[in-house]
């Protein structure tokens, strides 16, 4: 059995890419593409939230998805996604357990919240872009 030192970076990569794809699809494709920014803002207004919150959520989900997929600023992106995911969990709480219930249940956003916490703890994992190197800086060396 391979050691966790060998497998953990790749497990973090798999989680990061999965969460990134979900966040990108939900933000860019669904909210911006299908509903449009105006439609998303209108929906948020119709359920009692300031319409601008719809834009914040759509752009936040899209930015988090891109950050996770590329591996840039993974921990901040994961942590900044938590209010969106907790809000989604709260909004679906009254619909019951299963996401197949009318208006969706709460188990899927609750799972995404937990998975995002795990991602924040693990960090980027393997094959993440190194912002320091992209900016021409020498990465800091760690001391024991």
Instruction: Kindly report, residue by residue over 9-55, the tens digit of the pLDDT.
Output: 999 999 999 999 999 999 999 999 999 999 999 999 999 999 999 99
Main-chain phi, psi angles of 60, to 5 degrees: -65, -45
**Structure token pair of residue 126:** 């393997």
Per-residue pLDDT band at 64 (split at 50, 70, 90):
very high
**pLDDT tens per residue across span 75-107:** 999 999 999 999 999 999 988 888 777 888 899
Q: How many residues appear in the chain?
A: 144
Higher pLDDT, 61 or 104: 61
Q: Which residue has the higher pLDDT, 95 or 113?
A: 113
Compute the Cα dihedral for 93, 44, 23, 75 and give only its sign. Answer: negative
pLDDT at 131: 78
15 close to 111: Cβ distance less than 8 angstroms: no
The reported pLDDT for the residue numbered 33 is 96
Task: Tell me the whole-structure pTM to 2 decimals.
Answer: 0.87
Mean pLDDT of 115-132: 92
The separation between CA 115 and the C-alpha centre of its own chain, rounded to angstroms, equals 9
Predicted local distance difference test score (pLDDT) of residue 79: 98
- Evaluate if residue 144 carries a pLDDT over 60: no
Q: Give the pLDDT of residue 112.
A: 97
pLDDT of 135 above 70: yes
The Cα angle at residue 31 between residues 28 and 32, in degrees rounded to 5: 55
**pLDDT value, residue 97:** 84
Can you tell me whether residue 118 is helix, strand or coil?
A: helix
| pLDDT for position 139 | 63
């Amino acid at each position: 059995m391979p050691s966790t030192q060998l497998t953990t970076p790749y497990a973090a990569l798999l989680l990061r890419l999965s969460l990134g794809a979900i966040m990108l699809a939900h933000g860019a494709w669904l909210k911006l593409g299908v509903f449009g920014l105006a439609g998303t803002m209108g929906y948020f207004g119709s359920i009692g939230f300031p319409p601008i919150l719809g834009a914040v959520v759509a752009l936040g989900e899209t930015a988090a998805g891109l950050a996770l997929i590329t591996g840039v600023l993974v921990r901040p992106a994961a942590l900044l996604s938590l209010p969106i995911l907790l809000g989604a969990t709260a909004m679906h709480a009254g619909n019951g357990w299963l996401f197949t219930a009318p208006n969706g249940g709460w188990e899927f956003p609750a799972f995404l919240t937990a998975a995002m916490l795990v991602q924040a703890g693990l960090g980027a994992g393997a094959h993440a872009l190194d912002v320091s190197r992209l900016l021409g800086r020498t990465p800091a060396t760690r001391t024991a």
